[in-house]
Structure 1
Amino acid sequence: MNKTRLIIPAIVVLAFLGLSSVFIVDEREKALVLQFGQIRAIKEEPGLGFKIPLIQEVVKYDDRILSLDTPEIEVTPADDRRLIVDAFALYRIDDVRQFRQAVGVGGLRTAEDRLSGILNAKVREVLGSEDVTSNTILSEARAVLMERIRDAAREQAAALGLRIVDVRLKQTFLPEQNLAATFARMRAEREREAADEVARGEEAAQRVRAQADRSVVEITSKAQRDAEIIRGEADAERNRIFAEAYGKDREFFEFYRSLTAYARALKGENSTLVITPDSAFFNYLESPEGGGADRPAPAVAE
């Protein structure tokens, strides 16, 4: 009976010691075996590990890629237009021994505080350099700037046992007190560009109008010249016909011209003539014989 009382506690103690000497490392973790605060072993592969019970302890760290949001900071690029920058970083614990020696028992909280300070300093350094303006930060070139910040921060982060995977600028905006001045400057620039466009449009319109006016003058002059030529040719043809008719039958030609004069004198509302009865104008109306060759024909306004 006394032996049984001793065996059972011994088994319990042995079981406890056996279980305490075994630990499991998840695939998402890295582990350190510490003895009185000193690193005795590093377990980076998933599986079972062993330690000395009661003397050694196991500290586990996350082996996944972690994210860190940095507080908003104000930067001043080369053009002196201040900006508020909100960035974040992706990092992981690369060297667990270095990490433990750098942060001690503070763990991730201490590491992230120090990493945040490193990132803020590098953001100010890169975005405040002489070759970087606010337009550069707000353009597609910001991808190159983020790579520069990442590369600049990696060396100091390595001293903490960390590897920075990526750095991103989430937001970049103006301080509240600068918004009104910036909007006014942007409005002035757009108005200047609009005025330039209007001036160029007016210049083009003037060229088009001048060309159109010149074309009108040229076309009108050509048309008038052609009209004068045609009119002259028509007058010549008319005179030729009159001369030919006069040469063939002078009496008939004079009779025809008298009728034409009557038609022109009495057309429209002008139907009353006041002339002497013996006027030569009515010679062909008075004589039933149609007048004579020696009788002059009335003048006709052509």
Structure 2
Amino acid sequence: MRKITLLIPILLVAVVVALSSIFIVDEREKVLVLRFGQIKQERIEPGLGFKVPLLDEVVRYEDRILSLETPVIEVTPADDRRLEVDAFVLYRISDIRQFRQALGAGGEFQAAEQLNDILDGQIRAVLGSQGVTSNTILSPERAGLMDQIRNRADNRAKALGLDVVDVRLRQTNLPEQNFDATLQRMIAEREREATDERARGREAAQRVRATADRTYEEILSEARRDARIIEGEADAERNRIFAEAYGQDPEFFEFYRSLSAYEQSLTGRNSSMVLSPDSEFFNYLRSDQGAVAKQAEDAQ
């Protein structure tokens, strides 16, 4: 009986020691086993682990993606328009050994402060770099800037055992005290751009009008030249035809010319003419010339 009484406390102590030497690693965490501050084990897979009771300490770290919201910071892009921005960051602890050595017992709170300082510097560096204007920050190119911030912050954070998964710029606002001045400067710039655009438009319109006028003159001069050539050819053809007709029957040709002259001169309201009585104009209207005209008509 006395042996049983002594055995029960021994068994209880053994059970307590055995239980205190076992720890469980959850799938959402990573574990370091420390002995007097020195790392003895690193467990990143879920399951059971063992440690020396009373001597070893189990320190647990999140294996899930963590988030961080940076405070509002003021940046000055290349166009000197000051902006207030803040960011939302996703990160995770990738190397718990490096994390412990870099931050000690500070853990995730100390990591958030260190990461916030890293992001503050990288946001200022990227958004304040040459060629990055406020319009760039507010344009679709914003995604490329966020990728640059993430890459640069990730390179710095690896020294802390952290991986920066993503960085998103949230608010991008003008400082309240600079809003009116910035607005007026933007209006002035837009007016200048509009004036330049109108000037370029007027210049282009003048070039188009000048080209059109030159083309018009060239076409008109070519048309007049072609018209004169055609008129000359037509006159030459007419004269050739008249010459051939005159050569075939000069008397009939003279008769025909006289009739045409009578037709043109004796039409209209005023048909009065002052001529000498022996003028040749009315030769074919005299009785002695009538027979000649009749003979010419019969010959045709």
Asked whether the two chains share a fold, i.e. TM above 0.5, the reply is yes
3-state SS of paired residue (1:290)? helix
User: How many angstroms does 1:175 deviate by?
Assistant: 1.4
Cα 1:288–1:116 change in 2 (3 A) is same
Instruction: Say if 2:30 is the partner of 1:30.
Output: yes
CA gap 1:284/1:121 in 2 versus in 1, 3 angstroms: closer
CA spacing shift, 1:60–1:273, aligned 2, 3 Å: same
Which position in structure 2 is the counterpart of 1:42? Answer: 41
Partner residue of 1:208? 212
Amino acid at match of 1:111: A
Q: Give the corresponding residue for 2:235.
A: 231
Per the alignment, do residues 205 and 274 of structure 1 end up closer, same or farther by CA in structure 2, a change over 3 Å counting? closer
Are the structure 2 counterparts of residues 213 and 188 from structure 1 closer, same or farther at C-alpha, using a change threshold of 3 Å?
same
- Contact 2:75–2:82 at 8 Å: present in 1 too? yes
Residue 175 of structure 1 pairs with residue 179 of structure 2:
no
Give me the whole-angstrom Cα distance separating, in 1, the residues matched to 2:72 and 2:136: 19
Q: Percent of aligned pairs with the same residue?
A: 40
Q: Deviations over 1:117-140 (max 9, x none)?
A: 2210232234435x4442776685
1:205-284 pair list within 5 angstroms: 205-246=209-250, 250=251, 255-267=255-267, 270=268, 273-274=271-272
Q: In structure 2, how many angstroms separate the alpha carbons of the residues matched to 1:272 and 1:190?
A: 70
For the residues of structure 1 that align with 2:120 and 2:85, how far apart are their CA atoms?
Answer: 10
Once residues 261 and 244 of structure 2 are traced to their aligned partners in structure 1, the CA distance between those partners, rounded to angstroms, is 20
Equivalent in the alignment of 2:192 = 188
Q: So what's the TM-score if we normalise by structure 1?
A: 0.70
Cα distance change, pair 77–261 in 1 and its aligned pair in 2 (3 A):
closer
Residue 124 of structure 1 aligns with an amino acid whose one-letter code is R
Report the count of equivalent residues. Answer: 282
Report if the CA contact (8 A) 2:22-2:49 is conserved.
yes
Separation in 1 of the partners of 2:140 and 2:282?
100
1:150/1:164 contact within 8 Å kept: no
What does 1:1-302 correspond to in 2, within 5 Å? 14-34=14-34, 38-39=37-38, 41-46=40-45, 47-53=47-53, 56-100=56-100, 102-129=102-129, 131-134=130-133, 140=141, 143=144, 146-147=147-148, 150-151=151-152, 154-155=155-156, 157-158=157-158, 161-166=160-165, 168=167, 170=169, 173=172, 175=174, 177=179, 178-246=182-250, 250=251, 255-267=255-267, 270=268, 273-274=271-272, 287=287, 290=290
Shift of residue 40 of structure 1?
5.0
Please, which runs of 5 or more residues in structure 1 have no aligned partner?
Answer: 294-302
Whole-angstrom CA distance in 2 between matches of 1:95 and 1:273: 124
- Distance across 1 between alignment mates of 2:209 and 2:266: 54
For structure 2, the 5+ residue unaligned runs are: 294-300
Work out whether residues 154 and 163 of structure 1, in 8 Å CA contact, stay in contact via their aligned partners in 2. no
- Residue 24 of structure 1 and its aligned partner are, at CA, apart by 1.4
Pair 11,122 (structure 1): closer, same or farther in 2 beyond 3 Å: same
1:107 & 1:164 partners in 2: Cα distance? 15
Structure 1 contact 77–133 (Cα < 8 Å) conserved: yes
Relative to structure 1, is the Cα distance of residues 50 and 255 closer, same or farther in structure 2, using a 3 angstrom cutoff? closer
Q: Is the 8 A contact 2:123 2:149 kept in 1?
A: no
In the alignment, the residues of structure 2 paired with residue 230 and residue 237 of structure 1 have an alpha-carbon distance, to the nearest angstrom, of 10
Between Structure 1 and Structure 2, the one with more helix by share is: 2
